[in-house]
Structure 1
Amino acid sequence: MPPRALIVGLEGPELCPGERAYLEKSDPWGVILFARNVESPDQLCRLTGDIRDALSRTDAPILIDQEGGRVQRMGPPHWPAYPHARQIGALYANDPDSGLEAAHLAGRLIGLDLNRVGIDVACIPVLDLGLDGADQVIGHRAYAADPAIVAELGRAAADGVRAGGCLAVIKHMPGHGRAMCDSHHQLPFVDVPIDTLRQTDFAPFHALREEPLAMSAHVVYSAIDPDRPATVSPSIITQVIRGEIGFDGLLMTDDISMQALDGSVDERGAAALAAGCDIVLHCNGVAGEMERLADAVPQLSGRALERAEAALAGRGEPDPSGTLPSGQPVSLAHLDALLSKVA
């Protein structure tokens, strides 16, 4: 039977008996990890193995946010402190070729790090625009304000993640860069004409529309649907994400437990699926909420199941070559050397 259209979080660094029983019974499509789940490489290998054992699916996807900068769940001393996207964007502004190589190399090194510990989905790249005056929930997580630059660097990063043996997730569709508040805590409203959005915020997502995985934005776009954020808006998902942007891959929600959304988590999950999202993402690891979602969220079926299967079929082994197209090594030292140009 197909898995449930759900990705869940866990409470700590080990799979507790209650979580194991939940995974066995509810069979979510995947699991997302956070810093609270991370201690060491050996511990992560055990945890990812235990997750897949409980799910009885060796191909069950395990996700993590590993952008670099302040959004990095695996960090020192066991893993490098990767640069934030704006550093790579600044390098691109001075030297486009070096910027593109740095974006690819950072993605590839991150993918390799994840692959070694059994994680196979990196929730990068951020394709939101880095706009002056907006809330810093995106901030340095964005490569640049120019949508063409964001698209170029985002594509290089996604290709790098794949070369590292993982899948990438483009986010936050159809664009979170204009938000004037943090959607973790309240609902942002973007009051910009749709023609402006088409030329700016939507453009990087359109450029990368062939990517297999994307994450929605908990943002209201008043010119399209003044009443509902994208995650639960049929018009935004159908008209904009599937229509104008042309994305036909697997669309997961942003974290359904964020305070931008109204209602209980099960109501939010049902609304997101009814609006056209394929998968509900629930991150906080709270057992009671996970149980309610398991009751509210059905198994994958139809196009959602086809998209999920197509995404997983795109996973591959890490590129065995130890060099980049430029001939430089796939190494943290080379990434540091590139970034030193704008230090």
Structure 2
Amino acid sequence: MSIERTGRHAAAIFGCAGTSLTAEERAFFRAVDPAGFILFKRNCEAPDQVRALVADLRALVGWRAPVLIDQEGGRVQRLRPPHWRAAPPARRFAELYRLDAVAGLRAAWVNARLIADELADLGIDVDCAPVLDNPVPGAHDVIGDRALGDDVRTIAALGRAVIAGLTAGGVLPVIKHLPGHGRAQVDSHLHCPVVEADEAALGAHDLPPFRALADAPFAMTAHVVYRAWDTERVATWSHRIITDVIRGAIGFTGCLLSDDLSMQALDGGLGERAERALAAGCDLALHCNGDLAEMRAVAGAAGTLSDIAADRFTAALDRRTAPDPIDRLALMAELDALLARLANERG
């Protein structure tokens, strides 16, 4: 399929290789007009540099394309000191919530609002957070302290607070990883997880946080096989899981992204990976590593947004708002005080 501009954005979101764009990347993005871009640590050296990169990406495609980043806090944050704040991992808010629910919710909101402030300052307007996966004992720690707790009520409540904090700061959230990555015994970046739990267990334990926050604008699939629903295909490639579970049982109606297609949980060429994700029902194919040859293959297979995907994508972007003003120093002090309560309790 041709990757030339057709009047509708390509059904893909792409990364780039470094802190500025090469001539080849410029030509590729200008021709393809992707639905958006995603930044990683390799792209983020200093505030002025990131602002220039974001502006350059948007100038190439000629519209306010969304720019995504994984800024969860803890071990998954692409913006780090000395230029940006070291945000705590999600587990800290779950621990505080168990001690004092009101304090936990407030801390989660304040932290998310501060993250949004940092992102909006750079022109980044989508954060791939919150993680709504519900971990089980003995699972691989790829989720671990990224989870907002280990029970459905806590995860849903804190997830709602994170979404509220991000959106108040003009940043759209991406809930992940549907329909749940908390049971995986291996890291899907390196291997393909297979979950053997039955449908009843998944429905009671894994789905409820996503169901509670199904009104989010964006969501991301999991590269995980769930034997109860599809014995062979990961959720990203499973029409049954996307249709019956993500759109059906969970009730998600927003714009659905695949997880990163370059992850080793998937096999086959990059074009085949993108084609299978979109055929299964993903609205957008996400490719993150900045490899230009791989991006060409993804773009060639993905083509442009389908009518329904374009509607969902537009509806999600229409939810972008101007940030509410904040006193950043006051919020930072408040967050420190809230988390100090947890430290004192431990002490």
Q: Judge same fold: TM > 0.5, yes or no.
A: yes
Alignment map for 1:194-205 (pairs within 5 Å):
194-205=199-210
Give how far 1:293 is off: 1.1
Residue 130 of structure 1 and its aligned partner are, at CA, apart by 2.9
Any idea what the Cα deviations from partners look like across 1:121-154, whole Å, max 9, x if unmatched?
A: 0110000013221100000000111011100000
Query: Is 1:341 matched with 2:341?
Result: yes
| 1:130 and 1:145 in contact (8 A); partners too | yes
Instruction: Answer yes or no: is the 8 Å Cα contact 2:135–2:181 preserved in 1.
Output: no
How far 1:304 sits from its partner (Å)? 0.4
CA distance in 2, matches of 1:131, 1:212: 27
Residue 295 of structure 1 aligns to a residue whose secondary structure is: helix
Query: In the alignment, what sits opposite 2:286?
Result: 281
Aligned-residue RMSD, C-alpha: 1.0
| 1:296-335 aligned within 5 A | 296-322=301-327, 331-335=331-335
Instruction: State the Cα distance separating 1:322 from its structure 2 match.
Output: 4.2
Offset from partner CA, 1:20-56 (integer Å, 9 cap, x none): 1111001110010000000111111100000000111
Equivalenced residue count is 337
Contact 1:130/1:140, CA 8 A, preserved across alignment: no
Amino acid at match of 2:342: V
For 1:161 and 1:337, how far apart are their aligned partners in 2?
A: 21
TM-superposed CA distance for 1:301, in Å, is 2.3
Compared with structure 1, are the counterparts of its residues 299 and 330 closer, same or farther at alpha carbon in structure 2 (3 Å cutoff)? farther
Give the structure 2 partner of residue 326 of structure 1.
none
Q: Where does residue 115 of structure 1 map in the other structure?
A: 120
Q: Deviations over 1:198-254 (max 9, x none)?
A: 111000000000111000000011011010000000000000000010001000000
* Structure 2 counterpart of 1:54: 60
Structure-1 residue corresponding to 2:21? 15
Counterparts of 1:36-55 in structure 2, within 5 Å, are 36-55=42-61
Partner residue of 1:226 out of 223, 231, 237: 231
Q: Residue 320 of structure 1: CA displacement? A: 2.1
Q: Cα distance, 1:333 vs. partner?
A: 1.6
Per-residue deviation, residues 250-290 of structure 1 (Å, max 9, x unmatched)? 00000000000111111010000000000000001001000
TM-score of the two chains, using structure 1 as the length reference: 0.97
Could you tell me which residue of structure 2 aligns to residue 139 of structure 1? Answer: 144
State the alpha-carbon separation in 2 of the partners of residues 205 and 16 from structure 1.
Answer: 39
Residue identity matched to 2:334: H
Look up the SS of the partner of 1:5 in the other structure: strand
SS at match of 1:7: strand
Are the equivalent residues in 1 in contact too, given 2:134–2:181 (CA < 8 A)?
Answer: yes
In 1, Cα distance between equivalents of 2:314 and 2:205: 31
Q: 1:170 to 1:66 in 2, by over 3 A?
A: same
2:191 counterpart residue number: 186
Q: Point out where structure 1 has 5 or more consecutive residues left out of the alignment.
A: 324-328
Aligned partners of 2:25, 2:111: CA distance in 1, in Å? 33
**2:134: which partner in 1?**
129
Q: Does 1:5 align with 2:11?
A: yes
Helix, strand or coil at the partner of 1:133: coil
Gaps of 5+ in 2: 1-6
- Report sequence identity in percent: 52
Contact 1:131–1:178 under 8 Å retained in 2: yes
Any idea what the Cα deviations from partners look like across 1:153-197, whole Å, max 9, x if unmatched?
001001100011110000001100000000000000111111111
Query: 2: distance between equivalents of 1:130 and 1:342?
Result: 22
Matches of 1:175 and 1:109, distance apart in 2: 27
